[in-house]
């Protein structure tokens, strides 16, 4: 089963994403901040990471940089409400 890691600090967003991915047949694991997300991504070997940009403890951009340095082929989708790139 394909495993998706959702790294997001907003519980309602996590719930909505989890429900939709599970409905489509994916296994979903979650993390509520950047530090936990980085640890889970390295320990649990997800097939895809959905990563919020603005989070407590460590930003999604920093998590992305560290993950890409360690696992360059890991697909990451950045999730953001920011108005600029």
Could you report the per-residue pLDDT of 65-75, keeping only the tens digit for each?
Answer: 999 999 999 99
Q: Given this model, what pLDDT does residue 55 score?
A: 86
The pLDDT confidence band at residue 45, using thresholds 50, 70 and 90, is very high
| Alpha carbon distance 65, 85 (integer Å) | 16
**pLDDT given at position 29:** 97
The predicted-structure confidence for 24-38, as pLDDT tens digits, reads as follows 999 999 999 999 999
pLDDT of 82 reads: 57
Q: Give the rounded distance of the alpha carbon of 52 from its chain centre.
A: 7
């Amino acid at each position: 089963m394909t495993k998706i890691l959702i790294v997001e600090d907003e519980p309602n967003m996590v719930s909505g994403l989890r429900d939709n991915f599970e409905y489509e047949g994916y296994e979903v694991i979650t993390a509520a901040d950047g530090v936990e997300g980085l640890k889970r991504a390295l320990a649990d070997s997800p097939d895809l990471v959905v990563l919020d940009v603005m989070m407590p403890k460590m930003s999604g951009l920093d998590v992305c940089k560290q993950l890409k340095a360690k696992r360059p082929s890991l697909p990451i989708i950045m999730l953001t409400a920011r108005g600029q790139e």
